Amino acid sequence: MVRVAIQESIPMIQIIKKILIRFLEKIRNKPTMTLLEEIKKEEGFESEPYICSNGYLTVGYGKRVDYLKVDEKTAEKWLIIDLEELDGKLDRSFTWYIDSPRDVKDVVKSMCYQMGISGFRKFKKTIYYLETEQYLEASEEMLDSKWARKDSPARALRLSEKIKIQGEHNV
């Protein structure tokens, strides 16, 4: 009976031995620098696209972008990060923005996301009306632009309507 129990436990002992050997090999062969750290050091970080030594359009830590595909979840994460950064820039660029109603902020962010803050700054009358909380006038002024007539008429109309509704709430 003892002999049968020992024979049945031999395969288990062999499995435990293999696991221990693999574990010890990992500990002994552990590099001083992780692969991630090593590649980061070798590639270097570039926040903007550049042509790498092999002639490919690259960004970050050597990530080729000429064939880059992104899933929607990742794209949404990027968008959230971009909008958070844009919100901070708008806080610093326009003193009136900080205390503006949420819908006004959302419209301004949407416009700036599309055309950049420098493009939005060209809407001088719209900005004046937003700053002075004359939202009905701002909504009309937004539509008096190339952006509304040619570039993005449907978007301009939707965003203008949000500002108009804000104006109707203030009356």
Q: Are residues 94 and 119 in the same domain?
A: yes
CB atoms within 10 A of CB 135: 25
As for how many domains the chain has, the answer is 3
Strand, helix or coil at 93? Answer: helix
Q: What is Dmax (Cα atoms) for the chain?
A: 96
pLDDT-based confidence at residue 86 (cuts at 50, 70, 90): very high
13 or 8, higher pLDDT: 13
30 φ/ψ sector (left φ>0, alpha ψ -120 to 50, else beta) = beta
On whether the pTM is more than 0.85, the answer is no
137 and 152 together in one domain = yes
Give residue-wise pLDDT tens across range 115-151: 999 999 999 999 999 999 999 999 999 999 999 999 9
Percent of the chain scoring above 70 in pLDDT:
87
Angle formed at CA 59 by CA 53 and CA 64, multiple of 5 degrees: 70
Residue 117: give the domain boundaries.
Answer: 72-170
